[in-house]
């Protein structure tokens, strides 16, 4: 597989973490060797593999018969396997809905904007119509499921939410919409992470064409793209993103390479997790099971609460993504360690990671025109210090693209820093229990300069001084006391 070093890095981190994962078996039901073989004759599956640069022969050739990839949270195959769990029995009306954390827990554990926990089923209901749903009597303790209809052009309005009790439940739609289902665990220790709940549609609902990466053959896209649902949209699922595309835009994209678009959405999400240090080694390093909901009707913004990215850029959707999408998806991944005023700054750490993923080690100006001043080089930090340049980060006067340079130079030189910051911050924040130590921007800056130096294994104080980032005397002393070498 030809993913860049970031995923390879995560792979090695996960290998180191495998003992912990094995001990915490309840954390994540592992894939067995050969897990993929029952799908080997599915064109939807082999098409998705091909989009990822893989074949069933590749999986068969691997020593673990595909299991290692599927058990690696930073491998797209992990999420492809999850998609197969959710949707591969859709023809029988059976779905395995991933258990997600409650909304507030997800936001507080990840220190990000809240995600969307509603998975779309390929059915629509008209107002007053009903659907009979079944869930097992032995639901995991504490887990509760609910059905609703997604309404509005974006399907983002969860309308008429109704609990699905163990046994059978008749859900009555209070409005016309797409059936969406969620199963949530309100606990914070997430004993059912990676588990799912079997939800069966016993009757009701009009089938809705929907493109599911890994299940739907690529050849079916043209027909799906031109068969809008009752809300006037076309729905796709790439593994971690649920998209709603207004009918005219979907029809315009009917000849696009849908596998490539799905792959780009999926792989971007994985790489952003890697940037944020989701390596599976503790509770705070488990990536969200929630979704981003992409809306191609509006542009251009990102919002928390429902995990929404409005990415209706001109000409979108098309097979290849670019800065606009990378940026809006990036907002969904920004971590709580960012201090005030960095909303449009740290977001582009992710945009740059996506650019590198899809375009290789190109100069940052090939990612965004405002980045001509920035060089992607492993000695970026040293090079900046040697340049003698002096900036005024804290005092003001730098735009968001210039401020990005501070973080980008650290990332180019010390790729371990960003993952460390994300994971360490989430762990320290501990669902907000320790929010008091990260209350002010200055507290966060002081934490940042210390932890960035620690993860880099270099005393970065001179670098921060040259950038004009103002931090406290105690933080300066804390860095000095680590006795780290110069960058």
List interacting residues with Zn ion (CB under 5 A): 344
User: Coil, strand, or helix at residue 309?
Assistant: strand
For residue 300, count CB atoms less than 10 angstroms from its CB and return exposed for 0-12, middle for 13-18, buried for 19 or more: middle
- CA separation for the pair 338, 439 (Å, rounded): 11
CB nearer to Zn ion: pick between 135 and 367: 367
Nearest distance in Å: CB 326, Zn ion? 11
Helix axes 347-359, 323-331, angle to 10 degrees: 140
Cα–Cα distances in Å, from 222 out to 124, 311, 318, 319? 20, 21, 13, 13
Nearest distance in Å: CB 347, Zn ion? 5
CB nearer to Zn ion: pick between 257 and 344: 344
Residue showing the smallest CB distance to Zn ion in the complex: 344
Question: Degrees (nearest 5) of the Cα angle 8, 9, 12?
Answer: 90
**8 Å CB contact between 231 and 159:** no
Q: Where are the beta strands (DSSP E) in 152-238?
A: 157-164, 167-172, 177-185, 196-203, 206-207, 210-212, 233-237
Residue 456 tokens, joined: 């880099």
Nearest distance in Å: CB 342, Zn ion? 11
Residue 66 tokens, joined: 């595909």
CB nearer to Zn ion: pick between 301 and 477: 301
CB nearer to Zn ion: pick between 330 and 419: 330
CA dihedral sign, ordered 33, 35, 41, 46: negative
**Nearest C-alpha neighbor of 75 from the set 7, 177, 172, 23:** 7
CB nearer to Zn ion: pick between 20 and 299: 299
Nearest distance in Å: CB 114, Zn ion? 17
Nearest distance in Å: CB 352, Zn ion? 14
Nearest distance in Å: CB 111, Zn ion? 18
CB nearer to Zn ion: pick between 69 and 346: 346
**8 Å CB contact between 122 and 208:** yes
Nearest distance in Å: CB 330, Zn ion? 8
**Owner of token pair 């992409």:** 294
CB nearer to Zn ion: pick between 120 and 345: 345
Nearest distance in Å: CB 287, Zn ion? 22
Nearest distance in Å: CB 344, Zn ion? 5
Nearest distance in Å: CB 245, Zn ion? 21
- CA separation for the pair 212, 230 (Å, rounded): 19
User: Coil, strand, or helix at residue 468?
Assistant: coil
CB nearer to Zn ion: pick between 344 and 379: 344
CB nearer to Zn ion: pick between 192 and 350: 350
CB nearer to Zn ion: pick between 314 and 485: 314
Cα–Cα distances in Å, from 179 out to 162, 213, 238, 381? 11, 19, 18, 51
Output the CA torsion 117→123→126→128 (10° steps): -70
């Amino acid at each position: 597989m030809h993913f860049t070093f970031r995923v390879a890095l995560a792979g090695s981190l996960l290998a180191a973490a495998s003992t912990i994962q094995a001990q915490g078996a309840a954390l994540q039901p592992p894939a067995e060797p050969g897990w993929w073989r029952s799908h080997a004759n599915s064109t939807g599956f082999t098409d998705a593999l091909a989009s990822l640069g893989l074949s069933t022969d590749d999986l068969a050739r691997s020593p673990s018969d595909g299991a290692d990839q599927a058990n690696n949270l930073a491998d797209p195959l992990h999420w492809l396997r999850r998609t197969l769990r959710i949707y591969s029995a859709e023809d029988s009306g059976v779905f395995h809905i991933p258990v997600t954390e409650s909304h507030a827990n997800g936001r507080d554990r990840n220190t990000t904007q809240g995600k969307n926990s509603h998975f779309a089923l390929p059915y629509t209901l008209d107002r007053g119509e009903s659907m009979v749903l079944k869930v097992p009597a032995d639901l995991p303790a504490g887990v509760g499921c609910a059905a609703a209809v997604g309404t509005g052009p974006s399907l983002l309005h969860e309308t008429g939410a109704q609990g699905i009790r163990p046994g059978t439940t008749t859900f009555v739609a209070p409005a016309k919409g797409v059936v969406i289902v969620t199963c949530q665990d309100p606990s914070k220790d997430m004993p059912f992470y990676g588990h799912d709940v079997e939800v069966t549609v016993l009757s009701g609902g009009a089938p809705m064409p929907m493109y599911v990466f890994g299940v739907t053959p690529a050849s079916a896209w043209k027909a799906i793209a031109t068969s809008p649902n009752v809300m006037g949209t076309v729905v796709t699922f790439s593994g971690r993103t649920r998209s709603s595309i207004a009918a005219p835009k979907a029809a315009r994209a009917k000849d696009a390479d849908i596998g490539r678009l799905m792959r780009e959405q999926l792989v971007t999400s994985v790489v952003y997790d890697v940037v944020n240090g989701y390596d599976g080694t503790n509770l705070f390093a488990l990536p969200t099971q929630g979704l981003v909901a992409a809306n191609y009707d509006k542009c251009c913004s990102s919002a928390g609460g429902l995990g929404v990215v409005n990415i209706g850029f001109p000409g979108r959707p098309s097979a290849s993504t670019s800065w606009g999408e990378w940026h809006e998806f990036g907002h969904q991944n920004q971590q709580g360690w960012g201090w005030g005023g960095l909303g449009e700054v740290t977001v582009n750490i992710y945009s740059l990671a996506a650019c590198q993923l899809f375009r290789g080690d190109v100069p940052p100006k090939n990612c965004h025109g405002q980045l001509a001043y920035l060089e992607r080089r492993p000695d970026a930090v040293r090079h900046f210090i040697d340049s003698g340049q002096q900036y005024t980060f804290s005092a003001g006067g730098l735009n968001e693209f210039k401020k990005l340079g501070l973080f980008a130079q650290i990332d180019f030189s010390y790729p371990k820093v960003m993952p460390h910051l994300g994971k360490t911050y989430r762990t320290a924040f501990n669902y907000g229990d320790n929010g008091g130590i990260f209350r002010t921007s200055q507290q966060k800056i002081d934490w940042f300069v210390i932890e960035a130096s620690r993860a880099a294994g270099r005393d970065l104080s001179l670098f921060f001084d040259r950038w004009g980032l103002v931090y406290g005397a105690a933080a300066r002393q804390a860095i000095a006391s680590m006795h780290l070498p110069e960058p």
